[in-house]
Chain A
Amino acid sequence: MLDRLKALLAQVFDGQLPAEGVNESSRLIEDVGMNSIGLIYMAMAVEETFGVTFDNEDFPRLKTVGDVIALLAEKGVR
């Protein structure tokens, strides 16, 4: 799942991801460079790619890429 998410992030944040790449501990705001609109945009792209639905209540717990993966797992994505 990490690879699919990394591919998606690379597509959405084309050329803006940190040079050392993204891993599960990468922080969405500090490392990946997201703001609130970036978070919404990523959520929408993830929804389309993985066929899940996010809600506003999901955002406070999304601090790292690992958190996104954990949430996707909770929503039944394998």
Chain B
Amino acid sequence: MKEAKRARALSLRYLPMDVARLVCAVLELGFRRRTLWPEGKFRLKGGAVVVANHTAFIDPFLIRGLFWYRRVFLMASEEVMGGKVRAFLLRAAGCLRIDRRTADLRAVRAAAGLAREGRVVALFPQGGIRREGDVDAVRSGAVLIALRAGVPVVPVYSRRRKHWWQRRTVVVGRPFDLSEACGKPLPTIADLAALTESLQARLSACKDVFDQREENA
């Protein structure tokens, strides 16, 4: 197991992705990120699905910077991946294409497969940018991926800065295991909806911590 991990860590296959990680980490320094861990600081180990709200196009950099010590695969919409050259580059950089307009079984299966192998998959479950930072209309895809992979979900909340010189605050919630929350081998669609609501509640809790911090500041 350790040897497999080591081989994976040193594999040249991920060289473009590692270069992208480095670029993200450098660019992310510009945000002067301030990270809040209201439920205790942790390091991501094993497979996980990182779920974040999306307020600006630079958010993927933030997620990569936050978990700089892991290869984070990002789910990107058809529009972002548009064009052959861009799609090729983004795929090499660790992006997974997802078609939001249809039932994209292939993308869900690929993401769940990666998470099951012990990778980190990040996505924005609201399906697009919400500039005001609202946490509503969270879709069930992230929950489905985490359930299929049997990995925890990590909620992350952030909001765009009012001025470019301000620091960017990020709130990271504790990972929570959905299969434990559900406890059934084959959850029903109602369970899926309930778990999605629970995920939305956890993102909202992170938003509350963020708002509190902003008020105090």
In the complex the two chains form, is B105's CB within 8 Å of A54's CB? yes
For this complex, into which size category does the number of interface residues on chain A fall? 10 to 19
For this complex, into which size category does the number of interface residues on chain B fall? 10 to 19
In the complex the two chains form, is A56's CB within 8 Å of B102's CB? yes
In the complex the two chains form, is A13's CB within 8 Å of B189's CB? yes
Report chain B residues within 8 Å CB of A40: 103-105, 108, 144
Write the residues of chain A forming the contact surface with B, with a CB cutoff of 8 angstroms.
Answer: 11-16, 36-41, 43-45, 54-56, 59
Write the residues of chain B forming the contact surface with A, with a CB cutoff of 8 angstroms.
Answer: 99, 102-106, 108-109, 139-141, 144, 148, 186, 188-190, 192
28 contacts between A and B (CB under 8 A): A11-B186, A11-B188, A12-B186, A12-B188, A14-B188, A14-B189, A14-B190, A15-B188, A15-B190, A16-B189, A37-B103, A37-B192, A40-B103, A40-B104, A40-B105, A40-B108, A40-B144, A41-B189, A41-B192, A43-B105, A44-B109, A44-B148, A55-B105, A56-B102, A56-B104, A56-B105, A59-B102, A59-B103
